[in-house]
């Protein structure tokens, strides 16, 4: 009997150690890298869309086109890849059809709201949208400080777990009247296993 119990315990330990680590996002900029974890249990569609875009290279070469100290850094707009600053913040769509928009027209795809009880604190990853709750596309923001005015009104779907100091470097870069950094802050976004991203 003892032998069986020991074997079960060993098997359990092996299975636990072999469990796949959840994937994280690594956002790389000229200031360094930020590592973000996801909350698929709270915002499954938002996490899925973000990861799909990242794996397809959709975010690579986009910029943080809106930076407001004490508030947010916002990015993820494909319009920000070119040199026309006037349309930054006006583009982007969901990575898949989630029931919002015209199924045959990917440019109209948006995300249904998945509001939850996670607070908007420093490093929170949340989704930008227009006044309509189900209007989020590809643009996301990261909070540069506590922003309780956004709680339960925007979909939180992740959190910066490494590289919080980079948010302050980005948010304090010189900006124009539209809060767009005068010098582009471009990004690349990769999805990798958590065990490969975090310092031990």
CB under 8 Å, gap of 24 or more: what pairs does 173-177 form?
A: 173/67, 175/67, 176/85
Segment 27-40, tens digit of pLDDT:
999 999 999 999 99
Domain with residue 64: its CATH number is: 2.40.100.10
Residue 56 has pLDDT above 80, yes or no: yes
Q: Which band of pLDDT confidence, cut at 50, 70 and 90, is reported for residue 15?
A: very low
Closest to 34 (Cα-Cα) out of 182, 184, 171: 171
Domain for residue 8, yes or no? no
Q: Which domain holds residue 35?
A: 21-197
User: DSSP class of residue 20?
Assistant: P
Q: What pLDDT score was predicted for residue 19?
A: 53
- Tell me what pLDDT residue 195 has: 86
**Does some domain include residue 7?**
no
- Decide if 16 is inside a domain: no
Can you tell me the distance from the alpha carbon of 99 to that of 157, in angstroms, rounded to the nearest whole number?
Answer: 19
If we measure between CA atoms, which residue out of 43, 134, 138 comes closest to residue 93? 138
How many residues in total does the chain contain? 200
Is there a domain that residue 15 lies in?
Answer: no
Q: How many domains does the chain contain in total?
A: 1
Each residue of 82-141: pLDDT tens digit? 999 999 999 999 999 999 999 999 999 999 999 999 999 999 999 999 999 999 999 999
Q: Say if 167 falls within a structural domain.
A: yes
């Amino acid at each position: 009997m003892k032998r069986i119990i020991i074997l079960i315990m060993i098997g359990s330990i092996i299975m636990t150690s072999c469990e796949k680590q959840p994937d994280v996002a690594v956002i790389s900029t000229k200031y360094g890298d930020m590592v973000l974890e996801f909350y698929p249990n709270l915002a499954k569609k938002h996490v899925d869309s973000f990861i799909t875009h990242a794996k397809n290279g959709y975010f690579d070469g986009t910029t943080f086109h809106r930076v407001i100290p004490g508030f947010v850094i916002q990015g993820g707009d494909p319009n920000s890849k070119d040199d026309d600053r006037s349309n930054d913040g006006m583009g982007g769509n969901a990575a898949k059809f989630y029931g919002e928009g015209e199924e045959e027209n990917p440019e109209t795809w948006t995300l249904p709201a998945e509001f939850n009880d996670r607070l908007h604190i420093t490093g929170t990853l949340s989704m930008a949208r227009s006044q309509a709750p189900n209007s989020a596309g590809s643009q996301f923001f990261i909070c540069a400080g506590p922003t309780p005015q956004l709680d339960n009104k925007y979909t939180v779907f992740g959190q910066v777990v490494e590289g919080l100091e980079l948010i302050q470097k980005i948010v304090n870069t010189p900006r124009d009247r539209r809060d767009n950094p005068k010098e582009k802050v471009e990004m690349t976004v990769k999805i990798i296993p958590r065990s490969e991203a975090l310092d031990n």
